[in-house]
Amino acid sequence: MNDPRPTEAITLAAIGDLHVSETCHNRYRALFEEITEAADVLALAGDLTNLGKASEAEILAEDLRACTIPVVAVLGNHDYESGVPDEIAKILQQAGVIMLGEQQAAVIEGVGFAGAKGFIGGFGRGELGAFGEQAIKAFVDESRDEARKLENALRSLRTDRAVAVLHYAPIPETVEGEPLEIYPFLGSSRLAHAIDRFDNVKAVVHGHAHRGAYSGRTPGGVPVFNCAQFVVEPMFGRPYALLEV
């Protein structure tokens, strides 16, 4: 699974915002079986649980056992709600999921995968700067730290193709359709700046913006796909995207 040699193009399935709750027993098992037949790798783009409970992660982990292809994932903001994100990650890892983030990356069939949850902060000229109150500076530091994690993970890869997996959006184009007032809470341009430092990044997948748009590009031209299931299903008749990488 860590062979960096070039291979043929792979098919990546990507889905975000599963929001598994304690009433979701077996809800996604058939879907994961379907994805196994359709793709070579599955990327989960955060908000895997609804309230960030270990019990919700256990339900998802049980369904994921039906997925026999490699699975990579990042957590989302919902996965932090109950204060046990590390426990959620551990439960999913025990089910075979490769948890990206904290500068961890993976190579699967010659394609590198790096990820981070990301954070809010706004886009372009509207991006919040570290000026004024200490609370604002701490907020911006968190945004910078998530971008730094992504950049470090991408830097660790030596593959000619890489995919960045996020929860928050790196560009405003894929949150279009959401109320303009909440754009700053849907992502940060700092993530796009990290991505555009690397020539080998061929695609970015994220979630979070349930009413956003499906695709856009970073300022450097890297394709970005909003794979929140609520965005993808109306387009394709299935809740996951399929991408050739």
pLDDT, one tens digit per residue, over 204-238 is: 999 999 999 999 999 999 999 999 999 999 999 99
C-alpha–C-alpha distance, residues 135 and 128, integer Å: 12
Given a cut of 50, whether residue 75 has pLDDT beyond it is yes
Given a cut of 60, whether residue 2 has pLDDT beyond it is no
pLDDT digits (tens, 9 = 90+) for 51-67: 999 999 999 999 999 99
pTM score of the predicted model: 0.94
Given a cut of 70, whether residue 96 has pLDDT beyond it is yes
Given a cut of 50, whether residue 20 has pLDDT beyond it is yes
Given a cut of 80, whether residue 7 has pLDDT beyond it is no
The residues spanned by each domain of the chain are 11-244
Q: What is the pLDDT of residue 8?
A: 87
| pLDDT class of 1 with cuts at 50, 70, 90 | very low
Given a cut of 90, whether residue 5 has pLDDT beyond it is no
pLDDT digits (tens, 9 = 90+) for 130-188: 999 999 999 999 999 999 999 999 999 999 999 999 999 999 999 999 999 999 999 99
Mean of the per-residue pLDDT values for the chain?
Answer: 95
| CATH architecture designation of domain 11-244 | 4-Layer Sandwich (3.60)
HEC profile for the chain? CCCCCCCCCCEEEEEECCCECCCCCCCCHHHHHHHHHHCCEEEEECCCECCCCHHHHHHHHHHHCCCCCCEEEECCHHHHCCCCHHHHHHHHHHCCCEECECCEEEEECCEEEEEECCCCCECHHHCCCCCCCHHHHHHHHHHHHHHHHHHHHHHCCCCCCEEEEECCECCCHHHECECHHHHHHCEEHHHHHHHCCCCCEEEEEECCCCCCCCEEECCCCCEEEECEHHHHHHHHCCCCEEEEC
Q: What is the pLDDT of residue 222?
A: 98
Q: Which of 204, 209, 198 is nearest to 231 (CA)?
A: 209
What mean pLDDT do residues 108-123 have? 97
Given a cut of 80, whether residue 103 has pLDDT beyond it is no
